[in-house]
A and B are shown apart, each in its own frame.
Chain A
Amino acid sequence: MNILEFNNVTKQFGGLTAVGNVDFQVAKDSIFGLIGPNGAGKTTIFNLITGIYHVTEGEILFEGKRINGLQPYQIAQLGITRTFQNIRLFKKLTIYENILTACHENGNYGIFDAILRNGKYKKQERIMHEKTQTLMEIMGLEDRKDIIAANLPYGWQRRLEIARALASNPKLLLLDEPAAGMNPDETLKLMTLIHEIRKQFKVTMIVIEHHMDLIMGVCDKIMVLNFGQKLAEGTAQEIQENKKVIEAYLGEEEMHC
């Protein structure tokens, strides 16, 4: 079953076609890789899914329902969340507060419940705190609880952003270059983390990445974009052998006489 479907989606900025007629399906519980040279339209696709940009033509289906035209927060409430290429944490808050804030969907008490501090408020707050605690443990952040997010090393900021995304119980998680700026060792750890997340949270993932080791290592299916067009789609093996892909990345083979 497909959790996400793109049907002939086009996005134009004035005369520029950032994404043109792209079609693809993401199977439930899979990890889907999105690769391509810089400016190919990968992040634009994420922005279209999360409702930050609006689709010019075509439709995006999430669990069979059309989601283009919805506001970003509505899409998030349906169960799609993401991380950003340039990390966007709540910088002045601690790690704990970052995750706790993202847990807000786990309670539905109103403003008056909060002002009166009644039973409903207390019960749901406890659930949120417990959930935050568990997430901190799974992500290995529990001994850094009170550190201000902006003071964390880069790799840990990425990790925190993923933890924050998981706090809102997503069904589909979009990772935008999670390994950018990481050294090989950190990248390896990230790979284990992605496998771990898939096992623990049963969440479908779409990953944009330039580290081919990571993409080839974790993804069930990969799509290659170039100039906003779909170039190829298939398993890691198929992509590596695809002539068009090699051309896009390395240029055309010269003919020698």
Chain B
Amino acid sequence: MDWFYIQGILILAGINLLAVLGLSLLTGFTGLFSFGHAGFMAIGAYTTAIMSVKLHLPFIPSLMIGGLIAALVSLLIGKLTLNLKGDYFCIATLGLGEAIRLILDNVQYLGGARGWPGIPLKTTLLNVVIIDIIGIIILVNLIRSKHGRNMIAIREEEMASQIIGINVFRYKMISLMISAIYAGVAGGMLGHYLGFLQPKMFQIVKSTELTIIVIFGGLGSISGSVLGALVLTSLPEMLRTFAQWRLVVYGIAVIFIMISRPQGLMGGHEFSFHAVKKIISSMFYRKKQRGLGGR
């Protein structure tokens, strides 16, 4: 395998990871399921492309504007739908994602359903990694603050959160907005990696893929989301040997892992060096004991 191919997979995994991080905040920590995040990715992708192709802005400012516009749209949608409970919000986001895709299908200025070629290739492995690391740091800091705790409280027990003075609606809104920024930036990077945008790329399949990754990694775990994004994006590539049966094997693999580990890969726990040390030392300890027993 040559480096170019591996690099490509890593970049795609990194882009997916960014979108998944945002969704992890919304689904894993605030407890709101969304099936429309591909819609926010699409908004980010097209806005970033407009900024850099039509208005000739540099890459990073275009990305920021892409994220911001996605956040603005999420604010609008959130205002209307966040009072809905549980499943209803989920269905509303599903409708949103599809609506955004259909609108883009019909905007001829942006290429319509045929797609929009000729977007400058500015996404490199380096800037993907840097943006991912910044994204992870921001998320970790947020989760470990009172704001993150308030979001987790809402996930656990909405009524009790209200009673201890948490403005539930506002925090849901913030969570949705931040996740939309992540998705928007991820979309922008995707467009500038592929050099081509088509509304079809942001179908419901993409949204479900993101949600699957979050659940697969373990709800309420950032390291789980990271691991999930890396594993599930590269898995279909590793299965190339199965040719046309590739996606079937992929599906079976996901089902198998979910059955054997229903709480997700990390199961709500975070990766920490302290925990790793503990596991390793306990393994050593067990080995030693077994060794002694053998003698």
Q: Residues on A close to B: CB < 8 A?
A: 50, 52, 71-73, 76-77, 81-82, 84, 88-93, 97, 100-105, 107, 109, 111, 113-117, 121, 125, 128, 164-165, 167-168
Given A90-B156, A90-B157, A93-B152, residue A104 in contact with residue B162 (CB < 8 A): no
Given A101-B152, A104-B146, residue A76 in contact with residue B160 (CB < 8 A): no
The verdict on B127 contacting chain A, using a C-beta distance below 8 Å, is: no
Instruction: For A76, give its contact among B145, B149, B164 (CB under 8 Å).
Output: B164
* Contact, CB under 8 Å: A73 / B156: no
| CA gap between A167 and B156 in the complex, in Å | 18
User: In the complex, what residues of B have CB within 8 A of residue A164's CB?
Assistant: 160, 164
* Contact, CB under 8 Å: A111 / B142: yes
The verdict on B165 contacting chain A, using a C-beta distance below 8 Å, is: yes
* Contact, CB under 8 Å: B160 / A73: no
* Contact, CB under 8 Å: B146 / A107: yes
User: In the complex, what residues of B have CB within 8 A of residue A116's CB?
Assistant: 141
| Nearest B-chain residue to A105, judged by Cβ | B165
Q: List 23 A-B contacts (CB under 8 A).
A: A50-B163, A52-B159, A71-B167, A73-B162, A73-B165, A76-B162, A84-B160, A88-B160, A89-B156, A90-B156, A90-B160, A101-B153, A105-B164, A109-B145, A111-B145, A114-B141, A114-B145, A114-B146, A114-B147, A115-B138, A164-B160, A167-B164, A168-B164
Closest Cβ–Cβ distance, residue A118 to chain B (whole Å): 11
User: In the complex, what residues of A have CB within 8 A of residue B142's CB?
Assistant: 111, 114-115
* Contact, CB under 8 Å: B164 / A165: yes
The verdict on B268 contacting chain A, using a C-beta distance below 8 Å, is: yes
| CA gap between A82 and B166 in the complex, in Å | 14
| CA gap between A216 and B269 in the complex, in Å | 47
* Contact, CB under 8 Å: B164 / A100: no
Instruction: For B156, give its contact among A93, A102, A104, A113 (CB under 8 Å).
Output: A93
The verdict on B65 contacting chain A, using a C-beta distance below 8 Å, is: no
Question: Which among A82, A103, A104 has the greatest number of chain B C-beta atoms within 10 A?
Answer: A104
Q: Mark B163-177, 1 if CB is under 8 A from A, else 0.
A: 111111000001000
Instruction: For A97, give its contact among B149, B164, B167, B174 (CB under 8 Å).
Output: B149
Q: Residues on B close to A: CB < 8 A?
A: 138, 141-142, 144-150, 152-153, 156-157, 159-168, 174, 268
Closest Cβ–Cβ distance, residue B88 to chain A (whole Å): 20
Beyond A90-B153, A101-B150, A114-B145, 12 additional contacts (C-beta under 8 Å) are A81-B165, A84-B160, A88-B157, A91-B157, A101-B149, A101-B152, A104-B146, A104-B150, A105-B165, A117-B141, A128-B146, A168-B165
User: In the complex, what residues of B have CB within 8 A of residue A52's CB?
Assistant: 159, 162
| Nearest A-chain residue to B159, judged by Cβ | A88
* Contact, CB under 8 Å: A81 / B157: no
| CA gap between A125 and B147 in the complex, in Å | 11
User: In the complex, what residues of B have CB within 8 A of residue A105's CB?
Assistant: 164-165
User: In the complex, what residues of A have CB within 8 A of residue B163's CB?
Assistant: 50, 72, 76, 81-82, 165
Instruction: For A115, give its contact among B141, B159, B162, B164 (CB under 8 Å).
Output: B141
User: In the complex, what residues of A have CB within 8 A of residue B153's CB?
Assistant: 90, 101
| CA gap between A111 and B141 in the complex, in Å | 9
User: In the complex, what residues of B have CB within 8 A of residue A97's CB?
Assistant: 149
| CA gap between A91 and B153 in the complex, in Å | 9
| CA gap between A232 and B150 in the complex, in Å | 41
* Contact, CB under 8 Å: A77 / B165: yes
| Nearest B-chain residue to A117, judged by Cβ | B141
User: In the complex, what residues of A have CB within 8 A of residue B167's CB?
Assistant: 71, 73
* Contact, CB under 8 Å: A102 / B164: yes
Instruction: For B166, give its contact among A73, A107, A125 (CB under 8 Å).
Output: A73
User: In the complex, what residues of A have CB within 8 A of residue B268's CB?
Assistant: 92
* Contact, CB under 8 Å: A111 / B157: no
User: In the complex, what residues of A have CB within 8 A of residue B146's CB?
Assistant: 101, 103-104, 107, 109, 114, 125, 128
Closest Cβ–Cβ distance, residue A122 to chain B (whole Å): 11
User: In the complex, what residues of A have CB within 8 A of residue B162's CB?
Assistant: 52, 71-73, 76
Closest Cβ–Cβ distance, residue A70 to chain B (whole Å): 11
User: In the complex, what residues of B have CB within 8 A of residue A168's CB?
Assistant: 164-165
User: In the complex, what residues of A have CB within 8 A of residue B149's CB?
Assistant: 97, 100-101, 104
User: In the complex, what residues of B have CB within 8 A of residue A109's CB?
Assistant: 145-146
* Contact, CB under 8 Å: B164 / A101: yes
User: In the complex, what residues of B have CB within 8 A of residue A76's CB?
Assistant: 162-165
| CA gap between A52 and B163 in the complex, in Å | 9
| Nearest A-chain residue to B158, judged by Cβ | A88
Question: Which among A71, A100, A101 has the greatest number of chain B C-beta atoms within 10 A?
Answer: A101
Closest 6 CB pairs between A and B? A114-B145, A76-B165, A90-B156, A72-B162, A88-B160, A104-B146
